[in-house]
Structure 1
Amino acid sequence: MSNRGAISNFLEKYYLHFNAATLVDAAKAYEAQLEKDAKMLVSLAGAMSTAELGKIFSEMIRKEKVHIVSCTGANLEEDVMNLVAHSHYVRIPNYRDLTPTEEFELLEKGLNRVTDTCIPEEEAFRRLQKHIFKLWKDAERQGKRYFPHEYMYQLLLSGVLEEYYEIDIKDSWMYAAAKANLPMVVPGWEDSTLGNIFASYVMKGELQASTVKSGIEYMAYLADWYTWNSDKGVGFFQIGGGIAGDFPICAVPMLYQDLEEENTPFWSYFCQISDSTTSYGSYSGAVPNEKITWGKLDIDTPKFVIESDATIVAPLIFAYILKM
């Protein structure tokens, strides 16, 4: 037996073939990146915050096993929503059997369904909206501008939400990220609920669009971060597909092709957890070797694709890296 905990030992003993073996191989290679002092980017697509990944991802952040995050606007806000409105979430195990009428009834109750879990947006934003609006408005009055995640960090660190906490704060990955001032990019933030709310204030003339920094500024921020942190490599751990993964991985070809920074290294590790199959024109289902042709990965970059459910796989990999 190794000096690891029960979960890691279980994985090493029983996860020996196919997707199971790839899971262990990817975890070991992630660990090898950290051992050589490489940095690691983790991208979060889907509804991983609503799946309560924060229970273990927060520990990955505290233990400095992740150095920058790329996530959707939904994952950015839904961890905080779970923090302040957890008791109002509704689980629906028989979600596959719901009729359109039953789905509409959930809407009328203010419950937005994500697979088997309904997010109580009205309940959550009753606690959040006035506080985030104040931060936006205060920044605008002071002539300041921040990224979406920076406003969320300010919100969490201000203490104004403490009276609403409904879960243990250590299970919030966003709070862990805020405490660590973890670098983050949130591409496409505009399509999140908070992004929609911000857009409505802009359209009503109550805020200026420039008060929240843009996606182009996020790309420049990421490019600078990568340039300063890639001397020993930067790995790429992708949960799901979509913009949370596609946006940050493009920083490397942008740096050396468009900015002509010829010494820019490729990503030093790549792993994607996805249930998307290889298909015509699919980005999420593309095999890693396709990324070589786009100047993102090198010939010898360790590459892994785990074709499975990220809500099952990601916690196991994180548990292995944490030696649980």
Structure 2
Amino acid sequence: MNTKDKGVISSFIEKYYLHFNAATVVDAAKEYESKINSGSKMLVSLAGAMSTAEIGKIFAEIIRQSKVHIISCTGANLEEDIMNLVAHSHYKRVPNYRDLTPQQEWDLLEKGLNRVTDTCIPEEEAFRRLQQHIFKIWKDAEDAGERYFPHEFMYKMLLSGVLEQYYEIDSKDSWMYAAAKANLPMVVPGWEDSTMGNIFASYVLKGELKASTMKSGIEYMTFLADWYTDNSKSGIGFFQIGGGIAGDFPICVVPMLYQDMERTNTPFWNYFCQISDSTTSYGSYSGAIPNEKITWGKLDIDTPKFIIESDATIVAPLIFAYLLNM
């Protein structure tokens, strides 16, 4: 696409983002676009609190326009987008969060407000509102002898329409709703440490559900292995927002296939970009430079590699805007 076809945001960053982290933003966006235009597919991993940061306002359109083909996200991001969909007006913003005393933090807890940086998620309207509906879906599946992945249960809940009575934002701004409508492939490693994962575990402890009703992390990995094998002919890129398990889990599928399955024709990831404020450091996964991934059989020598050391809530929307020609 010619630069003149780009919108004001894309044109702005092309004109002014010329050096250092800023230049890498443009380079990474252009290479992402080039890969998609050449028929490559893209995995996007979501760590941190990107859903609570309302990334859905732009990421949902990335999904609708098929500029992402599979998502790896934390359990928190999986559920918090839906929580924002059904309880947005009950969220409380705390712009002076850096100045809060322990007593003020405790006061927020007693009000049922769980703080994520400057934003508090309401316990009753968000967590409990989802709980009453997702439990029925879990239980119905178990009674029918069915098993699903965590994200599949969430898709079922969204597509059933039971939450529509609570919608407080336009559903087009929910990336999970867009993903459910598209039946987008997803992996959610470590889902157990999320709020809904904790709630599911509590039902298992009470004997009301069986752990086996929920498909496991190993099953997510084997699903991802099959998906990668089936879709890698034209190449698959890796766009990582933040660090942690959302990125570490899926990127390992390539060396697993190549080394452990001895499928030596498995192609490497053909693009890699990470947005992270984790500075390069010794012994750090999230702060490791991309070249280290070559030694683990994840990236090739010639794989385009980008590290943007910045806040993903600032950078990711800019890259997505570029992909959407905004």
Relative to the length of structure 2, the TM-score reads 0.99
Unaligned residue ranges in structure 1 (runs of 5+): none
Cα deviation code 1:59-99 (max 9, x no counterpart): 00000000000000000000000000000100011000000
Q: Distance in 1 between matches of 2:74 and 2:188?
A: 6
Q: Distance in 2 between matches of 1:148 and 1:237?
A: 22
Please name the residue that 2:200 is paired with.
198
Deviation, 1:5, is 0.7
Q: Distance in 2 between matches of 1:288 and 1:165?
A: 41
Please name the residue that 2:307 is paired with.
305
Q: Distance in 2 between matches of 1:256 and 1:156?
A: 37
The one-letter code sitting in structure 2 at the alignment partner of 1:131 is H
Q: Distance in 2 between matches of 1:107 and 1:319?
A: 36
The one-letter code sitting in structure 2 at the alignment partner of 1:190 is E
The one-letter code sitting in structure 2 at the alignment partner of 1:255 is L
More moved, 125-134 vs 147-156: 125-134
Deviation, 1:126, is 2.9
Cα deviation code 1:269-315 (max 9, x no counterpart): 00000000111211000000000000000000000000000000000
Q: How does 1:65-84 map to 2 (within 5 A)?
A: 65-84=67-86
The one-letter code sitting in structure 1 at the alignment partner of 2:86 is V
Unaligned residue ranges in structure 2 (runs of 5+): none
Please name the residue that 1:134 is paired with.
136
Q: Distance in 1 between matches of 2:4 and 2:54?
A: 29
Identity percentage of aligned residues: 82
Please name the residue that 2:172 is paired with.
170
Does the alignment pair 1:291 with 2:290?
no
Whether the 8 Å contact between 2:127 and 2:195 is mirrored in structure 1 is no
Please name the residue that 1:95 is paired with.
97
3-state secondary structure, aligned to 1:40: strand
The one-letter code sitting in structure 2 at the alignment partner of 1:15 is Y
More moved, 149-158 vs 277-286: 277-286
Does the alignment pair 1:277 with 2:265?
no
Q: Distance in 1 between matches of 2:168 and 2:4?
A: 37
Please name the residue that 1:147 is paired with.
149
3-state secondary structure, aligned to 2:273: strand
Q: Distance in 2 between matches of 1:147 and 1:236?
A: 22
Does the alignment pair 1:107 with 2:109?
yes
The one-letter code sitting in structure 1 at the alignment partner of 2:209 is L
**Equivalenced residues, count:** 324
Deviation, 1:130, is 1.4
Cα deviation code 1:105-139 (max 9, x no counterpart): 00001111111111112221232111100110011
The one-letter code sitting in structure 1 at the alignment partner of 2:16 is Y
Which residue of the other structure, out of 232, 241, 254, is the alignment partner of 2:234?
Answer: 232
Q: Distance in 1 between matches of 2:127 and 2:81?
A: 13
Deviation, 1:35, is 1.1
Does the alignment pair 1:179 with 2:167?
no
Does the alignment pair 1:251 with 2:258?
no
Aligned residues: CA RMSD: 0.6
Q: 4+ residue runs of structure 1 moved beyond 3 angstroms? A: none
Relative to the length of structure 1, the TM-score reads 0.99
Please name the residue that 1:60 is paired with.
62
The one-letter code sitting in structure 1 at the alignment partner of 2:208 is E
Please name the residue that 2:25 is paired with.
23
